[in-house]
Chains A and B, each alone.
Chain A
Amino acid sequence: MSTPAVHSLWTTAADRIPQIGAPKIEYGQLSPTLIIIGAALVGVLVEAFIPRRSRYYAQVFVSVVALCAAFAAVVGLAADGYGTTKAHIAAMGAIAVDGPSLFLQGVILLAGLVGLFTFAERRLDPAAHGNRVDSFAAQAASVPGSEGEQAAVKAGFTTTEVFPLLLFAVAGMLVFTSANDLLTLFVALEVFSLPLYLLCALARRKRLMSQEAAVKYFLLGAFASAFTLFGIALLYGYAGSVSYGRIAQVVDGSVTDVSPALAGTMGNDALLLVGGALLVMGLLFKVGAVPFHMWTPDVYQGAPTPVTGFMAAATKVAAFGALLRLLYVVLPGLRWDWRPVMWAVAIVTMLGGAIVAITQTDIKRLLAYSSIAHAGFILAGVVATSKNGVSSVLFYLAGYSFVTIGAFAVVTLVRDAGGEATHLSKWAGLGRRSPLVAAVFAVFLLAFAGIPLTSGFAGKFAVFKAAAAGGAVPLVVIGVISSAIAAFFYIRVIVLMFFSEPKPEGPTVAVPSPLTTLAIGIGVAVTLVLGVAPQYFLDLASQAGVFVR
């Protein structure tokens, strides 16, 4: 066949195929996510092409710039009105750009930035063979205790891949809060989960424990993902679409153009209820609600402490963002079905987290149970099903994430020969030895306990107020009782630090670099500012409290 003939065949064929329209992507509105993904890819290239000596600096530089730029982009979008009047659904219905998503993206980016500071800390661990090292394993692939590991330590290796992993996780979380269809939601879920599984396994000390935590997290996370995916499939079967708007319309019964192929299953409420419940379960796993919480203490304890802090803060923000959007955008027509169930989950989560925390002896596990109890408090705001409920949850998440990162950052400072001294008995009398560190930790604990003049009080007050206004008074009563129980173990730590005799061979407090100091300082500042003058931020959260449909 001659060349012109082939050419004409191609062109005629092309003429006959209907045009596939290029998807319309609003790059400007997606810029925060795109910046982070781009930076993460650059980070991968850095690993490949930059000499080992300079990688740390290059990675930290790229990450900080990317997080700051993305935050600036979020602020720019919000200032442009995308959070309120210009809120709309971008990327062919896949991504919602609205108040809650911008607010939570801002919080995630800041949490990521502060978390990054703790990731980049290299002064706490004693230098290994003249090389400054961070909290992460020298070479993740080496078997713990093997000669390979020793060689890697001796060579001064550090796992600088943690920075791109962090950025990938952040990117996934950004999409997770703003996903407007179920497939995007699922992809985002996996995008932010997988880097976290890896990060959990990277502890420099107690590597076996760290790897065990990572495997547990991965197995249970995969298990939960399976439920989520199954739920998505059932919902698709119900609505014939994965788009949030479309499903909501079917739930309302306001849909008109029913495809004949789906007429048989569409509107089958059993599919909706089971699918919705399974999807919600996947999200409850991520927020660490009882009875899907059991991974939390083990993973929080085993993971490198900077990862724990970042994960505890940012995952919770992202997962609650997705949960809110799911319940308020997709399933509002179903709220009489899911509210009682969520009530029950909130109650067992608040009480369960608070009660089990009483007998914990490890500070990281204690904070893990504390985070479970806090998930319960936030769920109380979620079930308010009102605009105030949404904004109270947004405010709570903003305050809580900084307290959490700050608290875990303090945990990294208290060390003995074996690394971090996380057993509570070693914290006895810390206030006598290092009054400043103990006082800062006390501030965080008081914020966790919800004592006035801290962000914890303002957040808890907002959440409970919204819940009570939404008719959930018994929930509020139980919430307050749980707070009282929780206050016991927070205050107990304060008593231990300030009113117990220090042990002779107790831990020392390491002097951190400015990075960790900055992370802790930001934590304290946000905690006190949100506690003393919360009104501006409450207003901000209130403006951002409306989902686009």
Chain B
Amino acid sequence: MEKLIALLIAAPLLGAAVLLVGGRRLDRVGHWIGTLLSTASFVFGLLLFADLLGRNAEHRTLTQHLWSWIPVEGFQADVTLRLDQLSMTFVLLITGVGSLIHLYSVGYMEHDERRRRFFGYLNLFLAAMLLLVLADNYLLLYVGWEGVGLASYLLIGFWQHKPSAATAAKKAFLVNRVGDMGLSIAIMLMFTTFGSFAFGPVFGHVGDASQGKLTAIGLMLLLAACGKSAQVPLQSWLGDAMEGPTPVSALIHAATMVTAGVYLIVRSAAVFNAAPDAQLAVTVVGAVTLLFGAIVGCAKDDIKKALAGSTMSQIGYMVLAAGLGPIGYVFAIMHLVTHGFFKAGLFLGAGSVMHGMNDEVDMRKYGGLRKYMPVTFVTFGLGYLAIIGFPGLSGFFSKDKIIEAAFAKGGTEGWILGGAALLGAAITAFYMTRVMLMTFFGEERWKNRPTRSPGAPSAEPAAEHRGEHAEPHPHESPKVMTIPMIVLAVGSVLGGGFFSIGDRFLHWLEPVTGHSEGHSPVSAGEVTAATMVCLVIGVAIAWAQYGRKPVPAVAPRGSLLTRAARRDLLQDDFNHVVLVRGGEHLTRSLVYLDHSLVDGVVNGTAAGFGGLSGRLRRFQNGFARSYAVSMFGGAALLVAATLLMRAV
């Protein structure tokens, strides 16, 4: 059965190779090849899952050694894959959601002439992401980590003819490099500390390392996670990443890749458990980000950017849970999985709405769409209920557990973290209700007007084929798009309950991550009640603002906070002032130093030798008599020197 593990990666990798190398001949069937190989990977995943279920909980770790990558004395890097409950969970999520989104993309990208290439990139992403979660050592994980970064870059900038998309791709790439640097430093630190970067030896020898080193490794891993998972302070790229095609936003920038940071932290549980300072940093980052993302989500009128803020916020929950240690690891992953379902569903729903609305993304130009696209409305609505934590749906179970765990951290920290999580729940309810109301309820603001105010950037270029200023005719999307939405909606509804009843998920994952109950100052019932109150408050405020009153078609100026939130809480301004300007100053002074000092020395030396050369050259005057004198002098010197050596 171990032999199948490599096939998980091989199938989409083959797809990427075939689609990208195959060229135009495959244009007509390329998307089906990609979908087929992605589904094949999912089927292999299911087979392996069945095999794992048939084993005892202790024997559910399979490894497959493929080859020795760098076999050098004292530096052993192997290509070894490891399948345990944690990676199995990810494999099913990645390949399952991935296959659904492949299917959806068949319809969504129908009019794009570069559809084959798009599927090639999607397959490449799947292969890299699977390598990331299946690697048995950090170096191989790093390969997958960079691979998903590359795929993400290629897909964000897929519509590269749009300057905004090209810029967004570059931004994502650059910000991610900062995080990647953290991961590479962490790996180097591991190698110097433990003499290895394979999971087994590192986790086995955590006890031997000093506290300082472990904290350093933990903080570097956290930096890596911040980059990939768009956590404060490396969050700025995610909103712009929505320039990519919507299926990409759903798969990579909502369901899977952005959760890689959470995977990294949970996988490195042994390191973080031994480094409480690093853990504290993780919880702080998570708590800050969950509020940050939620606030940004409230202010955005672009449906995808609102959802992006929400993604940031929900991943903040996961990071918070992962930072809580054994109390929270399982719930971090559980929320990750349920979030994968409902957020992917919400994005696909958003894509479906855009599909029907001439690629309009501004929610102020939606309204009353529930009549026109009933399937999208229902599936989106179920996703909405799941994310705000409506009782019985997925988000209710997973988020509630995280809030409980935050309180269970105990002490002041527990109160602060729990309070932040509760507040986040209220804001989530607010902004998601806002999205729901603005899109599907209220008056039909898209009637009797062109879809887009002139000059506003076209979100998706397909719009240009369809007549820019025509009044939209909202319609339901084709089956190939709605079926994945329906499947994801079912997952959003039932997933949480299925996982939580009888603590199924807990028992499944516990052997890998470990679990402990904290000492909560408040009972589980009280937490649930408080969450419900927050939920109701959030929904009520949103209703008061967007349900009862008509939504203005042009955004009002808003308060200072609203305006800041619209600008992503000034993150780009901050980066510009601190990093870009600072960097410019630094490079300018370095360039000056290089020109004046380094080049001065180099050029001076060169000029010196050149001058010397010109002077020495004059001895070569072409007269045999001068040459003979030189020889005579040389011979005299030679003799004299030889005699002198004897005399000395």
Interface residues of A (CB under 8 A from B): 215-216, 219-220, 223-224, 227, 269-270, 273-274, 276-278, 280-281, 284-285, 290-292, 294-295, 297-298, 336-338, 340-341, 344-345, 352, 355-359, 485, 488
CB of B627 within 8 A of CB of A277, answer no
List of B residues within 8 angstroms of A227 by Cβ: 631, 635
Partner of B634, one of A219, A291, A358: A291
- Chain A residues with CB under 8 A of B639: 273-274, 277-278
Please tell me if the beta carbons of B635 and A281 are within 8 angstroms of each other in the complex. Answer: yes
Instruction: Decide: B630 and A294 in contact? CB cutoff 8 A.
Output: yes
Identify 17 residue pairs between A and B in the complex whose beta-carbon atoms are under 8 Å apart, listed by A's number. A220-B624, A220-B631, A227-B631, A269-B646, A273-B642, A273-B646, A276-B642, A277-B635, A277-B641, A281-B631, A294-B631, A337-B642, A341-B645, A345-B638, A356-B616, A356-B620, A357-B613
- Residues in chain B near residue A341, CB distance under 8 A: 638, 641-642, 645
Q: Are B638 and A336 in contact (CB-based, < 8 A)?
A: no
A224-B631, A337-B646 known; A359+B624 contact, CB < 8 A: no
Residue from A215, A274, A281, A285 whose CB has the most chain B CB atoms within 10 Å? A281
| Interface bits B372-416 vs A (CB < 8 Å: 1, else 0) | 000000000000000000000000000000000000000000000
In the complex where A273-B643, A285-B631, A294-B627 touch, is A280 in contact with B613 (Cβ < 8 A)? no
A297 touches B620 (CB 8 A): yes
Q: Is the CB of B620 within 8 A of A344?
A: no
How many inter-chain contacts with C-beta < 8 Å in the A-B complex?
A: 92
Q: With A291-B633, A291-B634, A344-B641 in contact, do A355 and B624 touch (Cβ < 8 Å)?
A: no
Contact B631 A336 (CB under 8 A): no
Additional A-B contact list (7), CB under 8 Å, known A223-B631, A356-B616: A274-B642, A276-B642, A277-B641, A341-B638, A358-B610, A359-B610, A359-B613
- Leading 6 A-B pairs by shortest Cβ distance: A291-B634, A294-B627, A358-B613, A359-B613, A277-B642, A277-B639
Q: Looking at the assembled complex, report how far the CB atom of B262 sits from the nearest CB atom of chain A, in whole angstroms.
A: 46
Give A298 to B627 CA distance when docked, in angstroms. Answer: 11
Residue B612 contacts which of A294, A295, A338, A355 (CB distance < 8 angstroms)?
A355
Taking a contact as CB atoms under 8 Å apart, the answer to whether A359 and B614 are in contact is yes
Contacting pair A340 B617 (CB below 8 A): no
In the bound complex, do residue A216 and residue B638 qualify as a contact, i.e. CB atoms below 8 Å apart? no
Residues of B within 8 A of A274 (CB): 639, 642-643
Nearest-Cβ distance from residue A446 to partner chain B, whole angstroms: 20
Min CB distance A192 to B, Å, is: 19
> How many residues of B are in contact with the other chain, CB < 8 A?
28
What is the CA–CA distance of A485 and B607 in the complex, to the nearest angstrom?
12
Which chain B residues (599-648) contact chain A, with CB distance < 8 Å?
606, 609-610, 612-614, 616-617, 619-620, 622, 624, 626-628, 630-631, 633-635, 637-639, 641-643, 645-646
Contact B620 A294 (CB under 8 A): yes
Contact, CB under 8 Å: B645 / A356 = no
Please tell me if the beta carbons of A352 and B622 are within 8 angstroms of each other in the complex: no
A291 touches B630 (CB 8 A): yes
* Nearest A residue (CB) for B643: A273
Which residue of chain A is the closest to B637 with respect to CB atoms?
Answer: A291
**Which A residue's beta carbon lies closest to that of B632?**
A223
Contact residues in B for A337 (Cβ distance below 8 Å)? 642, 645-646
In Å, the complex CA distance between A227 and B642 comes to 16
Q: How far is the CA of A292 from the CA of B638 in the complex (A)?
A: 11
- Contact among A291, A344, A355 for B631, CB-based, below 8 A: A291
Take A220-B628, A291-B634, A294-B631 as given contacts and tell me if A356 and B613 are in contact as well, using a CB distance cutoff of 8 Å. Answer: yes
The CB with the most chain A CB atoms within 10 A, among B622, B634, B645, is that of B634
B642 adjacent to A355 (CB under 8 Å): no
A269 neighbours in B (Cβ, 8 Å): 646
Cα(A241)–Cα(B646), bound, Å = 23
State whether A281 touches B642 (Cβ < 8 A): no
- A226 CB, min distance to chain B CBs, angstroms: 10
Q: Cβ of A355 and Cβ of B646 under 8 Å apart?
A: no
Task: Name the contact of B616 in the complex, choosing from A215, A281, A344, A352 (C-beta under 8 A).
Answer: A352
Q: Which residue of B lies closest to A216 (CB)?
A: B624
Say yes or no: B634 contacts A485, CB within 8 Å: no
B635 contacts A278, C-beta separation under 8 Å = yes
Q: Could you tell me if B627 and A220 are in contact, using CB atoms closer than 8 angstroms?
A: yes
Q: Is the CB of B627 within 8 A of A358?
A: no
In the bound assembly, the distance between CA atoms of A504 and B626 in angstroms comes to 40
Most buried by A among B613, B637, B646: B613
> How near does chain B come to A214, taking the closest CB pair, in angstroms?
11
Cα–Cα distance between A344 and B640 once the two chains are bound (Å) = 13
**A278: B residues at CB distance < 8 A:** 635, 638-639
Q: How many angstroms from the CA of A280 to the CA of B613 in the assembled complex?
A: 27
From A215, A338, A355, contact of B609 by CB (8 A): A355
Q: How far is the CB of A335 from chain B (nearest CB, A)?
A: 11
Residues from chain B with Cβ under 8 Å of A297 in the complex: 620
The CA of A123 and the CA of B626, in the complex, are separated in Å by 39
